[in-house]
Amino acid sequence: MPFQEKDLFPDNYTRREILTQTLPCTVCGKQYGLSEIDDHMTTHDQSNLCYFQDVGCELEVLPGQLKEHLENEVQYHMRLLHAKVQPLAFKKEEVELWEAAKDSERENSLIRVLYEKVISLEQKSREQECQLQKYKRDFLNVEKRLEDVSLRHCFGEFLWKIDDFRAKVQVLVFFIGLN
């Protein structure tokens, strides 16, 4: 069942958004709302060029007839705008890649491309995990060295850390006892 005009509702939010947009006057540079720009452009008597000149309208307009020109040449202006926008649109091939595939060859190629991207992302994830583990080891080493340094200094006094102190004392006592 197709939509009918009575099924549509006015989108006031979008209307307000559009009406709050401003454009600079191509002649004087002042900012005007979209609803005011047409009337303002007709006030410039010295303007003989259509303000669609940026997209290619080269028709000269007699002073005071800009409003009439804009009303009469809507289709021409739309064609000019379309010609400018067309290169920005998606190419047919790009769109077909993302459309639902109808034959198995396209389906298989899309699955292959997606599978390759998944593999690539998994590899990046693994590399990041390895880097994170390396950074953790480096951090623990730095933390241990910092602990060793902090044990050597206590309230401005230098402290010695002697590993296996008892064994060294016993060796010393043994050598002294021999003499």
Ordered DSSP codes for 21-49 = -EEE-TTT--EEEHHHHHHHHHT-TT--B
Query: Is residue 28 in a domain?
Result: yes
Domain count, the chain: 1
Instruction: Determine the pLDDT at residue 82.
Output: 86
25 has a pLDDT exceeding 50: yes
The DSSP element (H or E) to which 76 belongs, if any, is: helix 74-85
Query: Is residue 172 in a domain?
Result: no
Number of other CB atoms surrounding residue 42 within 10 Å:
18
Instruction: Determine the pLDDT at residue 94.
Output: 57
Task: Tell me which of 38-52, 54-68, 73-87 is least confident.
Answer: 38-52
Query: Is residue 38 in a domain?
Result: yes
Please, what is the average pLDDT of the chain? 77
* Domain span including residue 76: 5-88
Query: Is residue 147 in a domain?
Result: no
Q: The tokens of 108 are what?
A: 């298989």
Instruction: Determine the pLDDT at residue 136.
Output: 93
Query: Is residue 21 in a domain?
Result: yes
Query: Is residue 75 in a domain?
Result: yes
Query: Is residue 142 in a domain?
Result: no
Query: Is residue 170 in a domain?
Result: no
90-142 residue pLDDT tens: 655 555 555 544 556 777 778 888 888 888 889 989 999 999 999 999 999 88
Instruction: Determine the pLDDT at residue 96.
Output: 56
Q: How much is the average pLDDT of 18-34?
A: 79
Q: How much is the average pLDDT of 162-176?
A: 87
Instruction: Determine the pLDDT at residue 131.
Output: 92
